[in-house]
Amino acid sequence: MHSIYELVIAVENLEDAVEAYQAMGFTLDRRDRNEGLGIDQAFFTMGDGTVIELAQPFDPDKAVGKGLARNGEGLYMIAMTVDDVDEAAKGMKDKGVRLVEAGGRTFIHPSVTKGLLIRLDPPK
């Protein structure tokens, strides 16, 4: 694995969270609504290119909504780069690592990482 390039933080109130991050000096890049994931999002990009995404679920039955209900606010997921997602996934599966395939992406299940969802992506 090469680097972490995105942090997703589950929040109960997106407006309050955006204000808090702006007060800390982060600049809001954009907002989005992802119907498929059931979340409203706000994105901040740090100087090194790392993205912080704040995600407020509007659908409690989708993954982020369930995670927020179960674990409360906080770090929900990180995205990491790997040279070859398929090769990395095969190597992990061969070692018994539980993976989740969803939306054309590969994730390491939170049960493996003690509560954190990790997405594997190719280098940008």
Q: What is the pLDDT of residues 47-93, one digit of tens each?
A: 999 999 999 999 999 999 999 999 999 999 999 999 999 999 999 99
Both structure tokens of 53: 């995404």
CA atoms within a 13 Å half-sphere pointing along the CA-CB vector of 99: 21
* Residue located via tokens 């090194």: 48
Host domain of residue 89: 4-121
- Residue 73 sits in a domain whose CATH number is 3.10.180.10
β-pair partners for 75: 9
Number of domains comprising the chain? 1
* Residue located via tokens 């409360």: 72
β-pair partners for 8: 53, 77
A 10 A CB-CB count for 36 gives 8
pLDDT by residue (tens digit) across 4-44? 999 999 999 999 999 999 999 999 999 999 999 999 999 99
pLDDT-derived band at 102 (thresholds 50, 70, 90) equals: confident
